[in-house]
Amino acid sequence: MIQINDLTKVYKLTKKQMTEQKTKKNMMKAVDKLSLRAKPGEIYGLLGPNGAGKTTVLRCIATLLKPTQGDITVKGYDTVKDSENVRKTIGFLTNEIKLDPQFSPRYMFGFFGRLHGLNEEAIDKRREELFDYFGIKDFEDKKIDELSSGMKQKASLAVSLVHNPEVIIFDEPTNGLDIITARNVTDYLKLLRNEGKTVIISTHIMTEAEKLCDRIGIIINGILVTEGSLAEILEKTDSKDLEDAFFELFKIYNKEEE
Ligand SMILES: Nc1ncnc2c1ncn2[C@@H]1O[C@H](COP(=O)(O)OP(=O)(O)O)[C@@H](O)[C@H]1O
Ligand SMILES: [Mg+2]
């Protein structure tokens, strides 16, 4: 279970970032009083455009960023006060975390397995399962450096799941994957969901949210503007599909920011 209460995250901008973002303000509110709950046996989808604040939210859950305000618990553990227990509970995947280019998927998998306290036998068993499922065996001994972006993504996925975490936090998990592998990944997420795990993903792909997620939260400019099952969101916004619903909300909430 993930519980987020009134999460606000403000970044302090460097001069360079201020120039890049064409702003005179040295603060950037990336997430604004966001609350949500993701339950066991459910895939929660955080849907929003680039820059909406999705990665920031997920990094806060994963203990990599501290909330400016508000708090987050994962399975009851506070992400600031009890970050160690949170890290044991979660599997986190993000585009920004890169595997070491010199090592092979097999090596990295073993390394992270031992880091999580697994013995060699358990690591071998788990690697067999996951490498087989994600089709990593053919390149398990190649250097990460030599792999395509799709292969790297698959290896990162497997590594993030080595300790069979109860709570799965995946930032745009199908990013850069071909449709077959992407399907492979979303099918695996459903499997985890059906095992009773808590899954939260971010995505900007409407159809992915529609097909995969049990509940969807739409985030625009750091604000969670609506939340619910697909049917609930369509009803609330009087829309025929998620894309229509999104643009309805985008018209309202993107104006308010200006
Ligand atoms: N480390 C950082 N320093 C300053 N601003 C940041 C930083 N990381 C993200 N931002 C800004 O915060 C906002 C939200 O970013 P992010 O959470 O990455 O959104 P998303 O994942 O939805 O694309 C963006 O405007 C982005 O430029
Ligand atoms: Mg992001």
Cα 219 to ligand 2 centroid, rounded to whole Å: 12
Please indicate, yes or no, if residue 252 is contained in any of the structural domains.
no
Q: Does residue 78 sit within a domain? A: yes
* Domain enclosing residue 185, as ranges: 2-226
pLDDT tens, residue by residue, 51-103: 999 999 999 999 999 999 999 999 999 999 999 999 999 999 987 667 788 89
More confident residue, 144 or 72: 72
Mean pLDDT of 5-30: 91
Q: Is the CB of 54 under 6 A from ligand 1?
A: yes
CA distance 101 to 143: 6
Question: What are 28-48's pLDDT values in tens digits?
Answer: 999 999 999 999 999 999 999
Pocket test for ligand 1, best of 8, 11, 17, 172 (most atoms within 8 A of CB): 11
Q: Which residue has the CA at smallest separation from atom 5 of ligand 1?
A: 11
Residue type, 103: F
Q: Return the number of other C-beta atoms located less than 10 Å from residue 84's C-beta.
A: 10
Q: Would the pLDDT of 220 be above 90?
A: yes
| Cα–ligand 1 centroid distance for 159 (angstroms) | 25
Count of domains observed in the chain: 1
Q: Given a cut of 80, is residue 256 above it in pLDDT?
A: no
Q: Which CATH number fits the domain that encloses residue 108?
A: 3.40.50.300
Nearest to 99, CA basis, from 32, 21, 154? 154
Least confident range of 16-25, 157-166, 186-195, 209-218: 16-25
The ligand that comes nearest to the alpha carbon of residue 34 is 1
Residue 255 has pLDDT above 70, yes or no: no
Instruction: Please give the distance, rounded to the nearest whole angstrom, from the Cα atom of residue 226 to the centre of ligand 2.
Output: 19
Query: For residues 172 and 125, what is the distance between their CA atoms, to the nearest angstrom?
Result: 27
pLDDT, residue 191, reads 96
Index of the ligand 1 atom closest to the CA of residue 204: 22
Domain membership flag for residue 233: no
Domain annotation covers residue 234: no
pLDDT at 175: 85
pLDDT > 90? residue 22: no
- What strands lie across the sheet with 27-38, from one edge to the other? 27-38, 2-12, 69-74, 77-78
Distance 54 CA to ligand 2 centre (A): 5
Cβ pair 7, 70 in contact under 8 A: yes
Q: Is residue 256 part of a domain?
A: no
- If you measure from the C-alpha of residue 91 to the centroid of ligand 2, how many angstroms do you get, rounded to a whole number? 17
Amino acid sitting at position 130: L
- 250: its two tokens: 């985008």
From start to end of the chain, where are the E strands? 2-12, 27-38, 42-47, 69-74, 77-78, 90-93, 167-171, 198-203, 215-220, 223-228
